[in-house]
């Protein structure tokens, strides 16, 4: 990756420091084992994983650019890039993740008050508490602003009643950042941003099974849940602005996930050769599939080049913009296509569900193919992203402007 001419002595000194620190603290047994992390959002507990998480958490380098005052790394974007390079070089990976890091933390740093930041940011930095996102409701998906979960002002506390759905990780989460309705007379301006402790009486979660067989998300019910007054983030009725910002962080994170080359999976051309064979000149023997693999590889290259270009262009640390919408659709489509190609390459072996007769890679391929279908639905569906591109970037009229 280019250094954009910032390779001054200060940066060199930091590089040496980072290399040194990583050498001392990264357990070599975990080399290249970040795949699990990418899948689960949290590294497995115990052993070297624990050691590594503690070390990174205390150093603040899992959230490298977050302020030191709240336990973050306090690094400049340049330094963070150097840190990433040094980590890549030795097969190290970031053990601090999840929705707290990806979406909630950056949003709270921007909109939270001092007390909220001091209380909630450090446990995220150290991966001690898990957060879930209580936005969607049965009747409010793409049209998120139509959400109904009621939040009443009871003087010394808020009283919350309603139902959320598709709440990822709610069954394991300690806290929920939630959108609630504090005013029924206005659509967007009647929404507020509230933090709810999942252990509060009246909070109930029911896991929902996905087509991929696992149950990573829930229906979440709030029945007369009392929430302390200080858990309101931003002004009353100001939740929509905060939510929009948070969704930008979510989307940029997701397009990044789209860039992950399929956790641990072999590259497509290699996979195709091993399942289908090759001709005398090293070409994948199925020419039709070969053309489609080539096309996906090239799209992948184009995607990567775009990621690099936008990084270079965003040199200054302004955070994600509406342009990230392009990356989400491009990245998720690319990965879904890869998953389809992987199944096709594996043939009937790629359709194994469980039990004998299949390698773990084959069993994994079918599950991630299915699970991956969600990436064009959550975080703003593919269609909603396209609407955003049409409206905000292309300046086309919005047929929904009345709502």
Partner 1 sequence: MAVLTEEQSMLRDAARTWTQEKSPVSAFRKMRDSGAPLGYDPAVFAEMAEMGWTGVIIPEAYGGSDFGYLSLGLILEETGRTLTASPMLATALAAASALILGGSEAQKSEWLPKIAAGEVVGTLAVDEGPHHRPEKVATKATKSGGGYTISGAKTFVLEGMAAGLMIVSARTSGAETDAKGISLFLVPADAKGVSRKALKLADSRGVANVSFDRVEVGAEALLGAEGEGHALLEKVLDRARAGLSAEMLGSAVQAFETTLDYLKTRVQFGQVIGSFQALQHRAAKMFTDLELARSCVEAALTAIDNDSPDVPELVALAKTKVGDTLHLVSNEMVQMHGGIGMTDAHDAGLYLKRARATEATFGGQSYHRDRYARMQGF
Ligand X SMILES: Cc1cc2nc3c(=O)[nH]c(=O)nc-3n(C[C@H](O)[C@H](O)[C@H](O)COP(=O)(O)OP(=O)(O)OC[C@H]3O[C@@H](n4cnc5c(N)ncnc54)[C@H](O)[C@@H]3O)c2cc1C
* Environment class of 237 (CB within 10 Å of its CB; exposed 0-12, middle 13-18, buried 19+): middle
> Which option in ligand X, partner 1, none does residue 275 bind, with CB closer than 5 to 8 A by kind?
partner 1
Residues 192-251 that bind ligand X (CB under 6 A): 217
φ and ψ of 381, to 5 deg: -65, 165
Binding mask 201-230 for partner 1 (x = CB under 8 A): -------xxxx-x-----------------
In angstroms, the Cα distances linking 20 to 13, 83, 221, 401 are: 11, 11, 48, 55
Would you give the DSSP letter of residue 229?
G
Residue 325 makes contact with ligand X by CB under 6 A: no
Among 72, 234, 320, 352, binds partner 1 (CB under 8 A): 352
**Least distance to partner 1 from the beta carbon of 282, Å?**
19
Q: Can you name the residues that pair with 133 across neighbouring β-strands?
A: 177
Among 182, 220, 324, 387, binds partner 1 (CB under 8 A): 387
Residues 158-187 that bind partner 1 (CB under 8 A): 165-166
Q: Give the helix/strand (H/E) hosting 94.
A: none
Q: Give the helix/strand (H/E) hosting 289.
A: helix 287-313
Of the two residues 226 and 373, which places its CB atom closer to partner 1 in the complex? 373
**What is the Rg, in whole angstroms, of the alpha carbon atoms belonging to the chain?**
22
* Environment class of 155 (CB within 10 Å of its CB; exposed 0-12, middle 13-18, buried 19+): exposed
Residues 340-399 that bind ligand X (CB under 6 A): 374, 377-378, 381, 383-384, 387
φ and ψ of 108, to 5 deg: -65, -40
Residue 359 makes contact with partner 1 by CB under 8 A: no
Among 9, 353, 360, 397, binds partner 1 (CB under 8 A): 353
Binding mask 275-314 for ligand X (x = CB under 6 A): ----------------------------------------
Residue 289 makes contact with partner 1 by CB under 8 A: yes
The 3-state DSSP class for residue 285 equals coil
Of the two residues 53 and 367, which places its CB atom closer to partner 1 in the complex? 367
Among 27, 35, 123, 141, binds ligand X (CB under 6 A): 141
**Which of 337, 339, 335, 329 is closest to 381 using CA atoms?**
329
250 catalytic per annotation = yes
Of the two residues 127 and 374, which places its CB atom closer to ligand X in the complex? 374
Residue 131 makes contact with partner 1 by CB under 8 A: no
- Determine which one of 86, 137, 250, 362 is catalytic: 250
C-alpha span between 145 and 136 (Å, rounded): 9
Please work out the total of residues on this chain that contact partner 1, with binding judged by CB under 8 A: 49
**Least distance to ligand X from the beta carbon of 153, Å?**
23
C-alpha span between 136 and 147 (Å, rounded): 7
φ and ψ of 264, to 5 deg: 75, -10
Among the listed ranges 1-9, 74-82, 134-142, 241-249, the one in contact with ligand X (CB under 6 A) is: 134-142
- CA-based torsion, 167, 168, 174, 179: positive or negative: negative
Residues 161-200 that bind ligand X (CB under 6 A): 166-168
Instruction: Give yes or no for a contact between 81 and 1, defined as CB atoms under 8 angstroms apart.
Output: yes
Instruction: Give yes or no for a contact between 299 and 334, defined as CB atoms under 8 angstroms apart.
Output: yes
**Least distance to partner 1 from the beta carbon of 82, Å?**
39
- In the complex, the residues that contact partner 1 under the rule CB under 8 A are 136, 139, 141-143, 146, 165-166, 208-211, 213, 275-276, 286-289, 292, 343-344, 346-358, 366, 370, 373-374, 376-378, 381-383, 386-387, 400, 403
* Active-site residue list: 250
């Amino acid at each position: 990756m280019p250094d954009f001419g910032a390779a001054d002595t200060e940066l060199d000194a930091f590089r040496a420091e980072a290399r040194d620190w990583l050498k001392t603290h990264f357990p070599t047994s975990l080399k290249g084992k970040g795949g699990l992390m990418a899948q689960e959002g949290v590294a497995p507990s115990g052993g070297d994983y624990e050691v590594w998480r503690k070390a990174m958490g205390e150093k603040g380098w899992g959230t490298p650019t977050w302020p030191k005052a709240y336990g973050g790394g306090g690094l400049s974007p340049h330094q963070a890039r150097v840190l990433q390079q040094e980590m890549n070089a030795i097969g190290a990976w970031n053990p601090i993740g999840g929705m707290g890091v990806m979406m909630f933390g950056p949003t709270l740093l921007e909109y939270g008050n001092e007390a909220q930041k001091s209380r909630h940011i450090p446990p995220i930095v150290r991966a001690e508490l898990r957060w879930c996102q209580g936005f969607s409701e049965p009747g409010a998906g793409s049209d998120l602003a139509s959400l109904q979960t009621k939040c009443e002002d009871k003087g010394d506390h808020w009283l919350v009643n309603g139902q959320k759905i598709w709440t990822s990780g709610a069954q394991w989460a300690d806290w929920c950042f939630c959108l609630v309705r504090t005013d029924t007379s206005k659509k967007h301006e009647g929404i507020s941003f509230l933090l709810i402790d999942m252990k509060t009486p009246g909070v109930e979660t029911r896991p929902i099974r996905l087509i991929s067989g696992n149950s990573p998300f829930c229906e979440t019910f709030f029945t007369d849940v009392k929430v302390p007054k200080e858990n309101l983030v931003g002004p009353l009725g100001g939740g929509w602005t905060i939510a929009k910002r948070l969704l930008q962080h979510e989307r940029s994170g997701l397009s990044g996930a789209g860039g992950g080359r399929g956790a641990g999976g072999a590259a497509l051309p290699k996979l195709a050769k091993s399942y289908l064979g090759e001709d005398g000149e090293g070409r994948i023997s199925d020419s039709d599939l070969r053309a489609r693999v080539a096309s996906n590889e090239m799209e992948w290259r184009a995607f990567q080049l775009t990621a690099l270009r936008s990084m270079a262009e965003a040199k200054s640390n302004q955070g994600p913009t509406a342009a990230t919408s392009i990356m989400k659709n491009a990245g998720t489509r690319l990965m879904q296509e890869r998953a389809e190609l992987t199944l096709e390459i594996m043939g009937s072996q790629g359709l194994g569900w469980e039990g004998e007769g299949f390698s773990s890679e084959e069993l994994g391929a079918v599950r991630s193919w299915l699970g991956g279908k969600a990436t064009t639905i959550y975080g703003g569906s593919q269609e909603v992203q396209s609407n955003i591109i049409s409206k905000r970037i292309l300046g086309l009229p919005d047929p929904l402007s009345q709502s």
